[in-house]
Amino acid sequence: MKALPLIVTGVLLNAFAQIVMKKAVQAEGMQWSLMPLIRLFLNPWMLLCLTCYALSVVVWAAALKFVSVNFAYPFLALGFLANAFMCRLILGESIPTMRWVALAIIMAGVGLQAYSGKNEATPTPPTGRSR
């Protein structure tokens, strides 16, 4: 299936964007006034965050060329797992045992939904203009 690597890449980019956003907020703080917001959005971590988000949208759009939205969208739940690992490895945050249990349940659900769509490897019919 061509879409799966794209879906996973999009999810990982999105999860990583959350990590670097946290780094930006740690570096600049978060205040609701113009100059601090400008500083925050010009911080290299925030620029990396926004770049990751933009790339994740492009990759996600490419994935949707191959599968239906109702098949692809539940894979976004993988972001919970990716985020937990990245938080632990990059930010040094602790993950309580109960959260790991919850993540395992989420992964079981994603696995079930992926298995239910194993015949969706064919592209969805095109809509709109064709080239």
Q: How far is CA 44 from CA 1, 33, 63, in A?
A: 35, 19, 28
Residues 6 or more apart from 36 whose CB is under 8 A from it?
28, 29, 30
Tens of pLDDT, residue by residue over 42-56, are 999 999 999 999 999
User: Residue written as tokens 């990982």?
Assistant: 12
Tens of pLDDT, residue by residue over 101-112, are 999 999 898 888
Spans in the chain with pLDDT lower than 50: 121
DSSP code of residue 126: P
Regarding pTM above 0.75, the answer is: yes
